[in-house]
Chain A
Amino acid sequence: MAAATKPNYARVGEQVFKEVEKVNAELFTLTYGAIVAQLLRDHEDVEAVNEQLEKMGYNIGLRLIEEFLARSGVPRCSDFKETAEVISKVGFKMFLGVTASVVNWDPKKNEYSLILEENPLIDFVEVPEQYQSLVYSNILCGVLRGALEMVQMSVECRFVRDVLKGDDASEIKVTLKAILAEEVPVGED
């Protein structure tokens, strides 16, 4: 049973969640909502907004990974599949207070899906008709991309199912593009 040698990430997640400082959920949701609404007012094109959200997330991810590693003390993962467990049980729990589940692991393509039953970013949100192609929580994709890049993994993340579009859960597909060699990262654009 691999569980004996591998730490129980769900329990690690709960532990870290208990210790970390919390912020009021409504304030968080309303702040994010204000950002998205403002971006939509500033940019004409919804695709441009999706891209902006992803870029913002990327910048957050670059910094968030240090916080994560420092607070959680999770050791280096042995493979890409294990990073999925750590992200879903410890990462999401620590920063969003919810856990995600890992499904559809594909070893050939090195990809998996994260299923989010609950997403605090989208509480109370209903996207109007004219913004149907908006990926409201796209910031999460950026965060994953930025954070994983700092631990030498280049990934591609995108939403394949979205509660705001009528699905019963949100699903993020994470694909490993390359393992980066150990080198000083170039400046962000």
Chain B
Amino acid sequence: NTLTRRNRYIYTYLPPPNIDSFKTMKIACLAIIGKNNNPIFLKSYNQSKNELEGELDPLSHHYIVHTSLDVVEEKINQQQNKKVNANDTYLGLLCPSEEFKVFGYVTSTKVKLIMLINEFEVKEAEIKSLFRTFYSLYSDAICNPFYQHNQPITSRQFDKNLSNFVTKKSLE
């Protein structure tokens, strides 16, 4: 019966929920926090068109970043106590929430870079390389002579560079 066959075909074409849609960005959110824990930049990239997945809205990304800052503080203190001589501290996995893994990286200028990753299997080396690129894009943005230090970054170029970076990394 052709009608039943066609229905069956349409039914299985819809991707079932809870499987990573190809349009989901691997990097869900990038944040930069200043040395006084002031927000410098935060942007969510999860623009999945798949309505079936329970999308977290950008505000919950803010919450996650905020709570991860406590973990950052803790880790920084731990490292100070051990007298670690690392220049830029890669903080590693901060707190795995339900949807994401949160990674942190603090620089010698006490600027914290936070990344929310959407994949379950990620290699540490890959995350480190992502942070290196993220950090170099950030340093390009603050080279702007009109940028006031410790203020939120409003540069459109920086926004564009990061979006390209996120898109490129999601396709790999």
Contact = CB atoms under 8 A, between A and B. Distances in A.
B141 interface: yes
A37 interface: yes
B143 A29 contact: yes
Nearest to A128: B146
Contacts of B141: 124
A125 B156 CA distance: 11
B47 interface: no
A30 interface: yes
Nearest to B147: A126
B12 interface: no
Size bracket, chain B contacts:
under 10
A127 B146 contact: yes
A131 B146 CA distance: 10
A38 to B, nearest CB: 9
A82 interface: no
Interface in A113-133: 123-128, 131
**Chain A interface residue count: which class?**
10 to 19
Contacts of B146: 37, 125-128, 131
B164 interface: no
B142 to A, nearest CB: 8
B144 A126 contact: yes
Nearest to A134: B146
A131 B156 CA distance: 16
Q: Interface on chain A toward B: helix, strand, loop, or mixed SS? A: helix
Interface string B142-172: 0111100000000111000000000000000
A127 B141 CA distance: 12
B143 A124 contact: yes
A34 B145 contact: yes
A126 B143 contact: no
Residue among B140, B141, B143 with the most chain A CB within 10 A?
B143
A63 B143 CA distance: 29
A126 B156 contact: yes
A33 interface: yes
6 contacts: A37-B145, A124-B141, A125-B146, A126-B146, A126-B157, A127-B146
Interface of A: 26, 29-30, 33-34, 36-37, 123-128, 131
Given A33-B145, A126-B146, A126-B157, 15 more contacts: A26-B143, A33-B143, A33-B144, A34-B145, A37-B145, A37-B146, A123-B143, A124-B141, A124-B143, A124-B144, A125-B146, A126-B144, A126-B155, A126-B156, A128-B146
